Structure 1
Amino acid sequence: MTTSRFDPQAELSDDVRSRFYIGGHWVLPNSKETASLVSPTTEKSFLSVPLADRRDVDDAVRAARKAFDTGPWPLMSAAERSDYLRRLSGAVASRMQLLSRLWTAEVGAPVWFADLFTPTATAMLEYYAELSLSFPFKEHRQTRGGHARVLRQPVGVTALIAPWNAQLPILAYKLSAALAAGCTVVVKAPPETPLDALVLAECAHEVDLPPGVLNVITADADRGAHLVANVAVDKVSFTGSTATGKVIAKTCADRLARVTLELGGKSAAIILEDAELEPTLASLSPYTMPFSGQICFAQTRILVPRNREQEIVEAYSAVIGGLNVGDPWDETTQIGPLANRRQFDRVLRYIDVGRSEGARLATGGKSCERFERGYFVEPTIFSGVTPDMTIAREEIFGPVVTVTAYDDVDHAIALANDSDFGLSGTVFTTDVERGYDVARQLKTGNVSVNGLEMSPNVPFGGFKQSGVGREGGPEGLSAFLEDQAIYLPSEAQPSKLA
């Protein structure tokens, strides 16, 4: 196995390695506390980064508050902010290779996966730059006494908290919409993957984004809680675990702060009776355990007709068993390591629970013993899984997929909906309209027929414990806006109120 090819000293600036970005400046942290970044392939530390204390958090919030209350950003026209977003997209594009490499270095995303999804960042920036030009930030309505002008105003200072597994793409969803809305932001980067957000700060500095509009700190959960509780923060946008999301929701509820939550998933893929097996598995397999299953929308529950269960389990096991597990820096690797020791131990515990509860192991089921080091777990499939089993109900966040048999379509829909989560889902069939009919009965935020797709102009988010609110599309922009109605007398001319 080759070792990590990432050299932080050569590829990252001193600012990114050792400072925070607050108020338009690179500043040294108040705290001496650091976090060690550990390669999931070698299990060795390759960089120590500073962690924020409460003073750093408060400094970042004050900078964002000042930029919103007295700065030009929220008062700019949509066209002016759109221009900044396009320039920011260009700066990000110039660092695309670096940002892709960071994903592999920090958490072991295979290079093919990182190269495929890193451009999400520029896609989101470009989408919201374009949407800004047509979005109805102002609207006139006739009233009984005259006219009303409905304004969609930026909500204010927003805290953006994205998870370690896909820091850049998820942060891009939030940041693009927040900036397009006219908000100022504080980004809390996670200790596991702090570098992506700091490189974005370099891009913002390069394009002269007004001071305080974007502030980036690296902080642990305790400092994150301090950020969420800050009364100067008007909105929190969080992506992460359901448990943490519930705590954030309670904190925001106490002071009626606005909040968007994109949380866990336990998504079901329904293979209908008429589905052709080969094209179905070719389309489904990449999304059952992408990035070793450490993606919220992974299709981790496969529901199959009972009379085809053995056929599908054998064919799917052959596909998964043939995946190349190895060094994420190798372009031929399809499954890399888990991100860290915590995930590694967690996934192996779930596999043990699956066995103890009576699920049948079709393939995988243990750590990859051929590697001397690294957090590698074999791609694992359990069959004979019933909906009451732990592995069918809880989000494992690893390369573990369950197969459950159903009796008819109504039973399949009931099984899919028998979950605390409702984030994603897929339906496979030769009859697309039938697939649509099944899809619309699923209690989940996103469903794809005969594949899986996400697009910048389509809302993403979940039902039930998978979250509150949506990101992406016009809905994602609306999440960072407040509606204000101004009533005007009849003598005021709507045409002159723009």
Structure 2
Amino acid sequence: MLRRTVPFAFAAFKCPPVLNEPMDNFEPGSASAQGTLAACQAVRGEVRECPIIIGGKPYTSSNVIKAIMPSDHQVQIAKSYNATPELAKKAVEAAVEASKEWSQVPFRDRAAIFYKTAHLLSTKYRHEMRAVTMLGQSKNPWQAEIDCVAEACDFIRWNIHFAEELYAQQPRSVSNSGVWNTTDYRPLEGFVSAITPFNFTAIAANLAGTPALMGNTVVWKPSPTAVLSNYLMYKIMEEAGLPAGVINFVPCEPTVMDSAVNADPRLAAVVFTGSTRVFTEINKNVFSRLEAYNNFPRISGETGGKDFHLVHPSADIKHVAACTLRGAFEFQGQKCSACSRLYVPKSCWKELKALLIKGQKQIKMGQPDDFKSFMCAVIDETSFNKNKKYIDIAKADASNYEIVVGGKCDKTRGYFVEPTIIESKDPRAQLMREEIFGPVLTVFVYDDSKPAYWKEVCELVDSTTKYGLTGAVFSSERAPIREADKYLRYAAGNYYVNDKCTGAVVGQQPFGGSRLSGSNDKPGAGQFVTRFVSARSIKEGFDVTPTISYPHQLPDVYTL
């Protein structure tokens, strides 16, 4: 563990200015393109071992996780292991033990470790991290770059900046008052449970890394379909100097995480990204055990969405088409923010429909390391079957749904679902309400000849689903934008005007929604780091108290 003895460990310091990580463009023949292709070839050529890591030591079990390429499911790229309940409990003990020293490590030292993590990620490991994310999570190079490199580095660097700002927030003291007031932003007492998703390597790094940055120790359950990139992220943190036991890498079944980790009395917080169903179960299980915990555990989560594009008749229709195709189909619609419902005025539908069909037919589906691929496969067979189920619902109900374009599904080599656009006559039909989490966009064409059509469609958008994650409004006129903002204030935690509903940038558009889309703790903003500290107010007095009398009782009635 770190014990710094040099004098500047106890002096004031200032973190470097923070900027968002620049992104490579992968021009043909460029170093970024060639380096990434070479790294992909290396990943394809071996099955990498990703053991459980507890207290810095590797462990295995008989419950093997085979990490395959979603776009080529005959190719295995990694082997990991599900922890037994005994190993998961061992990870909790390792985290609690490591907390004794890590919670005392100065912020400067913690920040230095994570600054180095971001530096290693953006330099030495840039190509490799892109490759494992591309092949393991089925992302084209651009989608991998904006995720596992740029956003991951942004989360790390911006969170250091936000932590510095938080620590600087101190209560008012007057120098001649005889009192000095300070706030100690303590790490939480206990350990943090981090449960991370497959779709963003950056989110995994953020959910496991941010509690550690703030002085906590972590038991990290990665997604089994992102185990290779997540393990590499852990190893980069380790290389950067993260002490053993601060983060414990524990792939396991959800039931093991619940019974062996989240049920431990020393649980201080759960941080989660995933489905609404799972987050609901986590909340229920934690709340049912409140009397068993040493503290009230904090629960922070970002879950699903049924995200919308709402088009006004004045909108630039070509712009709407481009934004919608990107928002609905990039990364196969597997972003929590992906556009999955589109509201179009009847007067514009013919033009927009033609543009969407034209654009859909230009989208190339293929392998992640084919740089011509815009889309790749969905993450696994479960996802493939779910997407196919919803498409089949539309095909079977011709009275309500029309397949505008797409609808083909093929899992012969990989789990490929064609980008699909479906028109629904019922604005509250199943495909307009339920999250599909794939490349399926459902359209409702509203009648814009009615006198109060805009108010009516805004209220429809707001009330159709239980989610409140992202949404976008397109209009060239200001009055409809202002009116939509009023009616849709709670419909989206990330709300866009004349832009697609995906692509939030750390430090610029902090991400998260409410309703059944999560706790809206806004990763990418200063409020997120506050979830992992417990403030202690300290008052130090310099005066001597001469009496126990109150002012109105002077001269002294009571003497000592």
Identity of aligned residues (%): 24
1:479 alignment partner, one of 517, 531, 542 = 531
Q: Which of 87, 112, 129 lines up with 1:99 in the alignment?
A: 129
What is the CA deviation profile of residues 77-104 of structure 1, one whole-angstrom value per residue up to 9, with x for unaligned ones?
Answer: 3333222211111122221211111122
Quick check: 1:449 aligned with 2:482? no
> Does the 8 Å CA contact 2:315/2:474 hold for their aligned counterparts?
yes
Question: Which is higher, the Rg of structure 1 or of structure 2?
Answer: 2
Conserved 8 A contact 1:353-1:390:
no
CA distance in 1, matches of 2:319, 2:43: 42
RMSD: 2.6
The secondary structure found in structure 1 opposite 2:226 is: coil
Q: Which residue of 2 aligns with 1:89?
A: 118
Q: 2:455 aligns with which of 410, 413, 419?
A: 410
Q: Quick one: structure 1 residues 267 and 385, their matched pair in 2 at CA, closer, same or farther if it must change by over 3 Å?
A: farther
Q: Distance in 1 between matches of 2:351 and 2:302?
A: 35
Is 1:121 the counterpart of 2:152? The answer is yes
Matched, 1:158 2:206: no
1:105-160 superposed Cα distances (whole Å, 9 cap, x missing partner): 22322233212322211111111223333324552246999665333322241111
Can you give the 5+ residue segments of structure 1 that lack an aligned partner in the other structure?
493-498
2: CA distance, partners of 1:9 / 1:117: 20
Residues 6-26 of structure 1 deviation map (CA, whole Å, 9 limit, x = unaligned):
5449678x6xx1422222x23
Shift of 1:423: 0.7
Q: 1:239 corresponds to which residue? A: 273
Equivalent residue number for residue 229 of structure 2: 196
Partners of 2:542 and 2:482 lie apart in 1 by 48
Would the alpha carbon gap of residues 482 and 43 (structure 1) be closer, same or farther in structure 2, given more than 3 Å must change?
Answer: same
User: How big is the shift at 1:172?
Assistant: 2.6
Matches within 5 A, 1:98-497: 98-119=128-149, 120-136=151-167, 139-141=170-172, 148-156=181-189, 157-166=191-200, 168-226=201-259, 227-253=261-287, 254-255=289-290, 256-357=296-397, 358-368=400-410, 372-406=412-446, 407=448, 408-418=453-463, 419-431=465-477, 434-435=480-481, 438-439=484-485, 441-442=487-488, 443=490, 444-452=492-500, 453-457=503-507, 458-470=509-521, 471-489=523-541, 491=543
CA distance in 2, matches of 1:456, 1:172: 13
Amino acid in structure 2 at the alignment position of 1:411:
E
What amino acid is aligned across from residue 388 of structure 2 in structure 1?
L
* CA–CA distance in structure 2, aligned partners of residues 325 and 342 of structure 1: 19
For 1:400 and 1:9, locate their aligned partners in 2 and report how far apart those are by CA, in whole Å: 29
Residues 6 and 36 from structure 1, CA distance in 2 versus in 1: closer, same or farther, beyond 3 angstroms?
farther
**What secondary structure, in the 3-state scheme, does the structure 2 residue paired with 1:192 have?**
helix
* Pair 301,202 (structure 1): closer, same or farther in 2 beyond 3 Å: same
User: C-alpha deviations, 1:43-89, integer Å up to 9, x for none?
Assistant: 21513322111122112111111122x11x32233333222211111
Cα distance in 2 between the residues matched to 1:440 and 1:77: 45
In the alignment, residue 361 of structure 1 is paired with which amino acid? I
- TM-superposed deviation, 1:386: 2.3
Range with bigger deviation, 469-478 or 226-235: 226-235
Once the 2 structures are TM-superposed, how far is the Cα of residue 244 of structure 1 from its aligned partner?
0.5
Describe the SS at the equivalent of 1:300.
strand
Structure 2 Cα separation of the partners of residues 434 and 115 of structure 1? 36
User: 2: CA distance between counterparts of 1:124 and 1:300?
Assistant: 26
Q: Distance in 2 between matches of 1:8 and 1:308?
A: 47
What is aligned with 2:27? none
After TM superposition, the score normalised by the length of structure 2 is: 0.80
Single out whichever of 438-447 and 345-354 deviates more from structure 2.
Answer: 438-447
List alignment gaps of at least 5 residues for structure 2: 1-36, 291-295, 545-560
Distance in 2, Cα, partners of 1:197 & 1:27: 15
Aligned match for 2:73, one of 34, 43, 47: 43
SS class of match (2:442): strand
Amino acid at match of 2:437: F
2:558 corresponding residue in structure 1: none
Distance 2:243 2:483 in 1: 48
CA contact (8 A) 1:82 1:130 kept: no
Amino acid corresponding to residue 321 of structure 1 in structure 2: K
Instruction: Give the number of aligned pairs.
Output: 480
- CA positional deviation for 1:445: 0.9
Query: What residue in structure 2 maps to residue 22 of structure 1?
Result: 54
The answer to whether the 8 A contact 1:152-1:484 is kept is yes
- Measure how far apart 1:259 and its partner are: 0.5
> Which residue of the partner structure matches residue 496 of structure 1?
none
State the TM-score, normalized to the length of structure 1: 0.89
